[in-house]
Amino acid sequence: MAKRKSVKKPVTPAAKAVSRQSTDSASQGGGLKSLVAMEQESHSSLAAEGQPGQLVDTSDCVGIDQDRVATQDCLQIASALLGQPPVFWGRYFKGPGNKSPVQYQPQDESNFFNRNHIRVLPVARQTNHVNKNDDQLGYKDGLRNAAAIMAAFGASLLAKQAQVLVFLDVEPSGPLNVNYFNGWSRGLTEAGASAMIDFSDEVAAKTLPPSAKISFAPAVYGHHADAATWSALSNAVSAGAPCEAAWVVYMDTNPKFPIGPWLSQYTSPKMPASVPVVLCQRILDYRDAKKRSYDFDLANPDHKDWLLDRLVIPDAMHVSA
């Protein structure tokens, strides 16, 4: 995808803010510091830098994630802070029909993302499960996550993509278990190839080929210093489990905007060498004047095009009054 240029008025972000229990980067010195302490140190300076309308020229590929329904108001605030509209927006997916605003709500958000041409970054959320030594629990969760994503976007839209990237949310308080990930990645990928997905009408209309299926690509979100998670992932990948990408948390002691450029240390030596780091969460739980939370993310320029091709721009929906 071509580099995005700044625009003269803010457009688009909104939707996630996951209160992660992440910590300062160990490599920054001083050990691990609580997120609450970091916020107290940094938010006053962030607010001073991110006034609406102060868009700057940047070539970084940036986005946000939130645990709330996306709105134009949050988009405008995030655009002003980033210096450009977000290219992507992370949202949670758990199971089909989940009405919690923490999860993606297609009837409220699809038109927003379609109109603003923002890609949705799917995040699979069951953080209290990922540390369980339970292959079958992981498998069931992978099936449910896939079903939620298919219900939100429609199977025919997803089948037109080469892959659909899905990040499993892993927090430091509950590091990844190798058997859980084996089951989850298998359930996610098998769901997309299920014979229960009927593309016969699309095939007859020649909008999809006879071999149509949805290729879900498993990936992992975690703190860059979470050695237990990356060790488990390495073992799973070595045993044959698919993992296409990693999204890491890596914050500075005094985070500020702009959040680029990309730095080599965002790829931790603790991580499996075969799994590319495509995203870095640089600022966590920034709160605006209405106490709405935002996370700010930077794409690895070496993998930007690959990443964006695997995120989803929803079709517009007709929503009855």
**248 lies in a domain?**
yes
Give me the DSSP letters along 117-185: T-EEEEEE--TTTTTSS-HHHHHHHHHHHHHHHHHHH-HHHHHTSS-EEEEEE--TTSPPPHHHHHHHH
Q: In the prediction, which pLDDT does 212 show?
A: 84
**171 lies in a domain?**
yes
Q: In the prediction, which pLDDT does 58 show?
A: 53
Reported pTM: 0.82
- 3 state DSSP class of 10: coil
Number of structural domains the chain divides into: 1
Please answer whether residues 13 and 74 qualify as being in contact, where contact means their C-beta atoms are separated by less than 8 angstroms.
Answer: yes
Q: Give the model confidence (pLDDT) of 217-250 as tens digits.
A: 999 999 999 999 999 999 999 999 999 999 999 9
**13 lies in a domain?**
no
**7 lies in a domain?**
no
**Residue 203 φ/ψ, nearest 5 degrees:** -65, -40
**230 lies in a domain?**
yes
**16 lies in a domain?**
no
Separation of CA 164 from chain center: 12
- 3 state DSSP class of 255: coil
**Residue 177: CATH number of its domain:** 3.20.20.80
Locate tokens 């962030």: which residue?
46
**212 lies in a domain?**
yes
**259 lies in a domain?**
yes
Q: In the prediction, which pLDDT does 288 show?
A: 95
- DSSP H helices, the chain, are 35-49, 72-82, 106-116, 135-153, 155-159, 178-192, 200-204, 227-238, 304-308
Interatomic CA distance for residues 125 and 162, integer angstroms:
23
DSSP label of 102: T
Please give the residue range of the domain that contains residue 304.
26-308
- Sequential pLDDT tens for the chain (321 residues): 233 333 333 333 333 333 333 333 333 333 323 332 333 344 434 443 444 334 444 579 999 999 999 999 999 999 999 999 999 999 999 999 999 999 999 999 999 999 999 999 999 999 999 999 999 999 999 999 999 999 999 999 999 999 999 999 999 999 999 999 999 999 999 999 886 688 888 888 888 888 889 999 999 999 999 999 999 999 999 999 999 999 999 998 788 999 999 999 998 778 899 999 999 999 999 999 999 999 999 999 999 999 999 999 999 985 554
